[in-house]
Chains A and B, each alone.
Chain A
């Protein structure tokens, strides 16, 4: 088997089409993970023991089951209960929910790193709960964990090919389909290259963002 440049060249178009979907699913999944992770992190600090233990076990459960199993469950099992999303949105939800459990831990570490004196100053100023979180604690907590959050973006991106099993025509599924017609070497190699390019570009972007927000 030899490398066929013209075949590889012809693949770039369709693969880039798939890549767009990969990136869209990654971006949306990540936004969901950031938002839901925040909800988990805040609930985990609730003084209500029942609530915060319940959240703890939900997180533990989601984190200790494979993403692949979750995706397949969401796509093939959940619809039997009447809840159904398109393949794409199932993928976004699967990625987002799964990664929210990791990201909540990142927030948690960041929040724990905010000195106690900051909370106490908030009490002394009588600030309402919402301002304590959104004006004081989270801005300080998140600034410190931006690099880790960035790493999870890339990790999520690299997990996105799992969406191929739930029929999302993302880049990996395109490569798989095309490969079935004329050989797998070129499509999978080009796909790998695309992943490398996007990952490297994102890392650079994240480092820049870090630099921008590192002042504190």
Chain B
């Protein structure tokens, strides 16, 4: 356990002002409970000589839903991958709630995290990938119960029951025995969403989750995610190029360029009346495609 000493220096994420958070349509299958916020503190990430994130600071409040936008290569995916521990942090601190993701408290300072700490911290975070990444050697049910049984320690029966609830929520109960290869992209992504939620994360990361889908399947998956976002108290970080989806799903939009936040605000403001030229250029560019 982190000592309260070390923690006292750490500013906890503020509450979002006026963030609309109607949680009326709460669904039993969705995670609820104390949700941690996220805080990036002088985060540095390099790939060789390429400094992708240069002392990046930002905060996401508990339960807040944030969309990251910005040109290709601006570091959006890198931010999510750092949070999922798929990339190593070079410098700075990433806080999830009051605990550093990549460090363990040692004495008065922080030491690099060991695998056990990462394992504990990862339990709070879930991710949905652009390419779904379902396990092709398992059917849908096994994809959904592998983690809950092996990691969360649920009994097989409990895990199956929860898998059914989640499949019901994403509208795919009839595909419970299917293999991923037998599903459409949209169906695979729904299963992947259910699989991520089955781990009961507090923070959910979505990286362009509809960009590999056929156009006609995009809206269905987006609507599903919007409903999930509204019905749960997940802290959500979402990367997308789709403005209406960003408006639907987020309380706040962060516009990135070259690993720095250029502008931030509620979606209506960022998409309606952006103040920065770089934001305007970017929005124009995505409208043009």
Contacts and interface: CB of A to CB of B under 8 A. Distances in A.
Contacts of B84: 120, 123-124
Contact of A127 (B86, B134, B151): B151
Contacts, number: 61
A118 B192 CA distance: 12
A124 B143 CA distance: 13
Contact of A125 (B137, B146, B181): B146
Interface centre among A121, A124, A136, A139 (most CB of B within 10 A): A124
A82 interface: no
Given A117-B129, A143-B137, A216-B136, A123 B85 contact: yes
Interface string A117-160: 11011011111100100011001100100000000000000000
A136 B135 contact: yes
Nearest to B130: A117
A120 B137 contact: no
B12 interface: no
Contacts of A127: 146-147, 150-151
A118 B133 CA distance: 6
Interface in B121-168: 122-123, 125-127, 129, 131, 133-138, 146-147, 150-151
A121 B181 contact: no
A70 B136 CA distance: 41
A216 B137 contact: yes
B147 A125 contact: yes
Interface residues of A, number: 18
Nearest to A142: B137
Contact of A124 (B119, B127, B136, B181): B127
B199 A126 contact: yes
Contacts of B196: 124
Nearest to B205: A124
A151 B195 CA distance: 38
B133 A121 contact: yes
14 contacts: A117-B129, A118-B133, A121-B133, A124-B84, A124-B86, A124-B122, A124-B127, A124-B196, A125-B199, A126-B119, A131-B146, A136-B137, A140-B135, A216-B137
Given A124-B133, A126-B122, 9 more contacts: A117-B133, A118-B133, A118-B135, A121-B133, A123-B86, A124-B125, A125-B195, A126-B147, A128-B151
Q: Can you list the 10 inter-chain pairs with the closest CB atoms, starting with the nearest?
A: A121-B133, A117-B133, A125-B147, A139-B137, A124-B127, A126-B122, A126-B151, A131-B150, A117-B131, A140-B137
